[in-house]
Amino acid sequence: MAGDRYMNAVPFLQIIVLVSLIKPFDRQAGVFLDAMNKPYINMMLSLITFIVALSASLILITTIGFIGAAYAILFALLVTAMIKQYFMRKYLLVSFSHTLYYMIRFYVKVINKVLNPKKA
């Protein structure tokens, strides 16, 4: 992307790409919980995300280096996204497989529009 000097950043960027795919689900699930008058659950899950990320960062940075911070964020986000999916299923009957299907479909449409802007 910016030359050989930045090749050390590639693993960080790969992890951040995964985080950026999960984060919208996490954010929207929080919005739904707030809209369903369950802000306490959303706040507790935000606090859990922070605590898990902080704890995992402390452990992973000391054991594998700075890349551990990226892994810690990914891990914390995955944990809370799974818990939020539980609540989405419980309160709204939202299926993870349907969510995954529509997410992939959306990203394919966006990529197609970016690669073929005249067809849109």
pLDDT in tens, 51-88: 999 999 999 999 999 899 999 999 999 999 899 999 98
C-alpha separations of 83 from 7, 17, 33, 74 in Å: 35, 21, 12, 14
Question: Residue 56 falls within a domain, yes or no?
Answer: yes
> Can you give the pTM of this predicted structure?
0.77
Structure tokens at 66: 């700075």
Question: Residue 108 falls within a domain, yes or no?
Answer: no
Question: Residue 73 falls within a domain, yes or no?
Answer: yes
Count structural domains, the chain: 1
Contacts of 52 (CB under 8 A, 6+ apart): 72, 75, 76, 79, 80
Domain that includes residue 62, residue range: 9-92
Question: Residue 58 falls within a domain, yes or no?
Answer: yes
Question: Residue 45 falls within a domain, yes or no?
Answer: yes
Given a contact cutoff of 8 angstroms between Cβ atoms, the answer to whether 52 and 80 are in contact is: yes
- The pLDDT score that the predictor gives to residue 119 is 67
Given a contact cutoff of 8 angstroms between Cβ atoms, the answer to whether 100 and 88 are in contact is: no
